[in-house]
Structure 1
């Protein structure tokens, strides 16, 4: 059971919930904090104090005061007007990751939403109501407004969802799952929409796969070295201690462990005329290690983001303050994921060069051309 308290989540936890392998609940501490935050919003409304997003318009209309009688309509229209994404729907795993991440950041108690909002998100996770969220439409600089709006449509019983493998109106999906749609109160539409949980969800799952890929590349590289009768000398720990990047040293150690006690290596230790192997073999620790470093950095950023308040404005109950800021901006996550994408591309590049050496009869150390025993017909 994963108990949400607005904490930083590990990629493994996000992936496990996305696959439906780990149940999720809201901690008692978080529930009390969220209720206290909501109480401050109610006090603001009762006092007539003007606060952005609570009783004002949005963006360029932030100077327009909204009367108490129209506060629910304001939040409802905000959700409907921003549900304008296009393209294919996100996968169910990505959608589940979004539900988890949005519930967790609301659990920090800095958005002013009721505990009911989080309870509804977690019920959708538990019972498999997955909003249909188009993959395109996020602005990034304003967070993931459009994707989160599509998620929020289902919360209020509108839009479309997948339920038990069937696409249907969200109202019907919620009815079948026994979940009551929410009538949004003041600030709650904005609390659901403001944030980076779409990019975080997609990025978290991609990073989790990329880390597996990076270790798999070591395995494939070690097997390639064996097939080409190469030498593990380039992975000697002393070489990498002389250039002590953590990822490089990790990759070298992993490659050495994979090649330990290799019988193939022993067959050509003596009288091998080659001085050193090709770059694509010899430089695996440097390239694979740099990829590890990039993915490690991206993991750190995304895990910090998973437990960060990305709403605007933010509620601070200790001083009864509601402060406008820019935590919704996607730059920290976007730059980290761009870096990770560049790294994975480089991993694919060196992998392709190793494949070429394996299949090319001019460089594959006597292996069959194109690795087939029936060259020319296979």
Structure 2
């Protein structure tokens, strides 16, 4: 209980700091033939870097999900667990029933549901992409019947949503058949990454738990390339508490590729790789981060050191030069790329080439860097040869 209270206090601290970055926009909709209010959060630093793009998150039920999602997105970005996001919330207080309450007799969308679906797809996303610097990565977030509506975007013949975050979902009795009609195999043909998050909860009625549990069981059996299913169960007596827990748990999974290589990721995906494959794994991770999330991180030193041992200790360190070149390709301002190339040449007793790269690397370092003296020792050691 103390731990959860601390997290809530921490989130409130972050939420209080972004209030001045919220833009209210009344968007006129030709599809809905009315005006709908959007709340738009622009992340800190957006105005300073014209070259950086940001993932777009679209939050249904903005009245109670928007602040919670933005607060978590700010916290995750501050902790380097996710990229900064542009978040747009759609106010649905007066229209939720019309927008998302499906036909209970067959589970299909009503004419009003379809209109709202198209409003989001064709007008909200178009407005955000044409007005702000967004990356290709788009998330939809909703709860209850809004979460059910979000699943229908899975049937688009050309997938354009990357993460479908369905919190405390209220599904129809026909949800299993609907998922079968979505042709999820099409995601395996896309050169992209997709996530579907659903949560069950002990706070739900027995009937609702059973319905979600059966869907999650069916999803668990899917083995589709590029399509990541996250089946979650939250133990709590409150549906509100389930929402507060589901958002950070969903973000953790959806942006897992963005985070530095964790112990779990290393054990599962990296430790048994050859040097060549380990280098390729690291390069692909950062190429995908830049493609999906629109920002060039370089490479975190933590991730370089995670791969270092494999490259040095396996195959006699023969791939140190390739390792250094890969680092320079993605993070040219880092001295570590030149260091590993220099170490490769020094190991092969090509001291002049080694000294050249050690000097280049040292020249990139800030004199106040505590590692600069160690780097300079390489130059002194070889300078006298």
Normalising by structure 2, report the TM-score: 0.24
Task: Name which one, 1 or 2, has greater alpha-carbon Rg.
Answer: 1
Q: Report which of the two has the higher share of strand.
A: 2
TM-score normalised per structure 1: 0.24
